[in-house]
Amino acid sequence: MIAALSTRPALRAAVIGAYILLVEWTRALASTIPGAAVPAILLGGGALAVSVVGWPAPKLGLGTSRLGLRILGGIALAAVLLLPAAVRASEAPIIPASLAVVAVIISVAQELAFRGVLYAALDEAGGAPLAIVGSTVAWTAAHALSHPPAFLWAVAAAGLLLALWRWACRDLVAPIIGHVLADLAL
């Protein structure tokens, strides 16, 4: 099985995608149990982070070269993600401060899983277009159980923006920073 995964990129990408979706859907369902939301997020974040095992950092878009530009890109992405909520701040729920650490963990884990590992696996299987579209579709599907249908277009558009950044700049640091800042705000 492991040999088949290492020699067949498409199969590997499918298995990784299925694993990530399974983790995210399980987390979403577990979060509806009273008192289970925080443990579910922590466990789900850990399970997503496990997917990076065996992947070299450069393939995931991680690195410290041109770090200033990566950080700046992350801040710019956060500004774009938060702009609609900032304009309508009175309609925005605010995440409790006690959940800040949890928000950081899950947003980092999601970026590593979707724009890191899944993107890299799809890139190997079918190139950048498949990686961008595939990671965006999986990202949107992962939020289908936790978000009202009306929000999924915005979720998909955010996923597409982050995936395009990952492709255009070969960088995952900026999507991580953007996602973390956005989750810390809402």
Partner 1 sequence: MKRPILIAAAAGAYLVAAWMVAPGFYDGIAPQQPYNWVCPPPIAGANSGVAAASGHLVIKVIDGTSDANSAFTDDGQVIVSFLPGAFQAAGNTQVTVDIKPVSPCPNPSDLHFSTNVYLITADASLVQNTNGASPCQPACIGMRYSTLIPAPSFIYRSADANGPWTNIGGSENQQFVIRANTNQLGYFAGGYPANATNKSSGTSQLLPIAVAVLIIGVLLAGIPLAMVRRRRAGAEADEEDDEGDDDEERSTPRT
- Residues within window 122-181 making contact with partner 1, judged by CB under 8 A: 143, 145-151, 153-154, 156-158, 160-161, 164-165, 167-171, 173-174, 179, 181
CB of 184 to partner 1, least distance (A): 9
Q: Is 42 in the site for partner 1 (CB under 8 A)?
A: no
What is the Cα–Cα distance from 36 to 62, expressed in whole angstroms? Answer: 32
CB of 3 to partner 1, least distance (A): 26
Q: Is 101 in the site for partner 1 (CB under 8 A)?
A: no
* 132-145 as b/e: b if 16+ CB within 10 A: bebbbebbbbbbbe
Q: Is 3 in the site for partner 1 (CB under 8 A)?
A: no
| CB closer to partner 1 out of 43 and 99 | 99
| CB closer to partner 1 out of 16 and 174 | 174
What is the Cα–Cα distance from 114 to 69, expressed in whole angstroms? Answer: 22
Q: Is 95 in the site for partner 1 (CB under 8 A)?
A: yes
What is the Cα–Cα distance from 31 to 33, expressed in whole angstroms? Answer: 5
Q: How many residues bind partner 1 (CB under 8 A)?
A: 72
Q: Scanning residues 55 to 94, which ones bind partner 1 (CB under 8 A)?
A: 58, 61, 63, 65-66, 68-70, 72-73, 75-76, 78-94
| CB closer to partner 1 out of 4 and 127 | 127
What is the Cα–Cα distance from 108 to 178, expressed in whole angstroms? Answer: 10
- For 127-182, the three-class secondary structure string (H helix, E strand, C coil) is CHHHHHHHHHHHHHHHCCCCCCHHHHHHHHHHHHHHHHHHHHHCCCHHHHHHHHHH
What is the Cα–Cα distance from 62 to 172, expressed in whole angstroms? Answer: 6
CB of 126 to partner 1, least distance (A): 18
| CB closer to partner 1 out of 51 and 110 | 110
| CB closer to partner 1 out of 16 and 165 | 165
Q: Is 21 in the site for partner 1 (CB under 8 A)?
A: no
Residues with Cβ within 8 Å of 4's Cβ and at least 6 positions away in sequence, in order, are: 11
